[in-house]
Structure 1
Amino acid sequence: MTALVQLTDVSKFYGNIRALEGVSLEVHAGEITCVLGDNGAGKSTLIKIIAGLHRHDAGTFEIEGEAARLDSPREALDRGIATVYQDLAVVPLMPVWRNFFLGSEPTRGAGPFKRLDVQKMRETTRAELLRMGIDLRDVDQPIGTLSGGERQCVAIARAVYFGAKVLVLDEPTAALGVKQSGVVLKYVAAARDAGLGVVLITHNPHHAYLVGDRFVLLKRGAMAGSHAKSEIALDELTRQMAGGSELEQLSHELERAPGPDVIGGRPVEDAAAADGPGDVARKD
């Protein structure tokens, strides 16, 4: 089956600085591909290439089997790639329905009588959120009054409604608690079940393993591993994510050196000074 998005040996350089080198991944319909890495691993650069914000310098980038070099996020969106960043690009004081259609507002009338179709936006927002299983009290409330998890879910529902085939999520659970993270992951799985290909960027292997089908690990701009879920257990994924052998080496370096022998709660030297040579000899 042709991948919705496929990157093969993609690299990106900023002068002499290597941001990405030789990174490959596939995104299929109805699957979640998780990209894991620590800060500075190259996750943000990868997002910007897929989202059309930056062009890659080497390798191939294919959309549904066709080579692509995207010039802008709008072009990526027209090709069915929607990106939801951590800041969500919402206006906190505007209602939920206005944020849902932000930049793509439907209108009615013509000429000087042209105006926003507010009723359609309200009804569509409520219906689409319900279809994703999100039951908001009131779509007229400012989106800034929603929890972080609810705002993420609105952004996901918006991408699904506007025809996204590939949904790229940038650290959607990074600033959320356990319960809200669970809510977001549930709607990420709902987007997958709706037939979208999902790219989940995260540094949390436990969240990734709950919903992921494929895992790509990045380290300092290069690939540190690529696995299907059936090929790797959570413990091994966590170990690779944490640095594996480097972490083991660090643990050895941080082990405390053996302390002095202790007698009665005091080092031997102190005990000898207090009791005299004879007492210490008898204790030996």
Structure 2
Amino acid sequence: MTAEAPDALRVENIAKRFGSVTALQDVSLHLRKGEVLGLIGDNGAGKSTLIKIITGFHRPDAGRIYLDGEEVELKSVSQAQRLGIQTVYQDLALVNDMTVYHNMFLNKEITWRPLPLLNNRKMKHLTRRYLDDIGVSIPSIETEVAMLSGGQRQAIAVARAVYSEDARILLLDEPLAAMGAKEGAMILDLVQRLKESGGVSIILIAHNYAHVLEVCDRVNVLQHGRITYDKPAAETSVEELTELMVSEYRRARTGGGG
């Protein structure tokens, strides 16, 4: 990914209100092809609202969205998915008492047409291929998801999102939350491999600035419903990002932050 790469996604002047609450005021953001963009901000800054607009869950009150340079109007999650926008949320939406391969094809099961019977052989074959392609190590794809570690479950959810609709844009909402160092490293390695493959552009939401700087090409900060900071990861630091957020808390405590 280079600074000259074209934009896979661009949002311009996005605004969203919920009654008297302004969630997003004037958000402009762009994601280059093959890029990993880190999105950080305090709780309530509007990150989740922005992600839900990009995934078609919410309709913006104002603003425009462009995919590969063409304006789109996202009316539903299924439409966004058909356009190649996939999201992995913190809850993962996995079924614990189902196998890895059945979770990989949850609600998109492959059947023996025209018979309504599951083609387990093909789903197993594709699951193993997909996981191997992005370097995810699962002892057995016939294991129930409940038996796996948090990192392994997160990896399965990411793999499902990448391959279910040939994702071009992947939104990862706090994929490292509540994970230990070893499991967190597994997911960071997975993001790095996806970046190196060049087939998907990623927005990573995370609170750990060290994690963001380790795998992201660029960092955006969302504050008060606006993007207030946009820098290449190589030109910032954990210290600078921490000071930025600490300053935000100081202003809030003294009544200057709104």
Same fold (TM over 0.5): yes
Is residue 87 of structure 1 aligned with residue 67 of structure 2? no
Alignment partner, residue 184 of structure 1: 187
The 5 A counterparts of 1:1-284 are 1-110=5-114, 113-162=115-164, 163-195=166-198, 196-240=200-244, 242-244=245-247, 246-247=249-250
Q: Distance in 1 between matches of 2:194 and 2:154?
A: 12
Identical residues among aligned pairs (%): 39
**SS state of the match for residue 107, structure 1?**
coil
Change (3 A) 1:206 1:248: farther
1: distance between equivalents of 2:12 and 2:238?
26
For 1:231 and 1:21, how far apart are their aligned partners in 2? 27
Residue pair 1:31, 1:198 contacting (<8 A) in 2 also = yes
**Residue 97 to residue 236, structure 1, CA distance change in 2 (3 Å):** same
Q: How many Å apart are 1:238 and its aligned residue?
A: 2.2
CA offsets 1:49-95 (integer angstroms, 9 cap, x no match): 11110011112111111112211111111000000010011111000
Question: How far, CA to CA, are the matches of 1:203 and 1:21 in structure 2?
Answer: 22
1:31 is matched by which residue type in structure 2?
E
Letter in 2 for 1:92: N
Assess if the C-alpha contact under 8 Å between 2:45 and 2:222 holds in 1: yes
TM-score normalised by length of structure 1: 0.83
RMSD in angstroms over aligned alpha carbons? Answer: 1.8
Preserved contact between residue 29 and residue 227 of structure 2 (Cα < 8 Å) = no
Q: Which structure's CA Rg is the greater one?
A: 1
After TM superposition, the structure 1 stretch with the greater mean CA deviation from structure 2, 224-233 or 6-15, is 224-233
CA distance in 2, matches of 1:125, 1:18: 42
Identify which range, 154-163 or 98-107, moves more after superposition.
154-163
Offset at residue 142 of structure 1 (A): 0.8
Q: What amino acid sits opposite 1:131 in the alignment?
A: D
Deviation, structure 1 residue 40 = 0.8
Report the Cα distance in structure 1 between the residues aligned to 2:189 and 2:142, rounded to whole angstroms.
24
8 Å Cα contact 2:40-2:222 kept in structure 1: yes
Q: Which amino acid aligns with 2:146?
A: G
How many Å separate the matches in 2 of 1:248 and 1:86? 30
Q: Helix, strand or coil for the counterpart of 1:136? A: coil
Q: Secondary structure in 2 aligned to 1:115? A: coil
SS of the aligned residue for 2:167 comes to coil
SS where residue 169 of structure 1 aligns?
Answer: strand
> Does the 8 Å CA contact 1:29/1:192 hold for their aligned counterparts?
no
Q: 1:93 to 1:245 in 2, by over 3 A?
A: closer
Deviation string 1:186-239 (CA, Å, 9 cap, x unpaired) is 101111122210000112211111111111101232223111223323321222
TM-score (norm 2): 0.91
Structure 2 CA distance, aligned partners of 1:8 and 1:152? 31
Whole-Å separation in 2 of the counterparts to 1:212 and 1:239: 19
Please state whether the residue corresponding to 2:34 is helix, strand or coil: coil
User: d(CA) in 2 for partners of 1:209 and 1:12?
Assistant: 29
Equivalent position SS for 1:49: helix
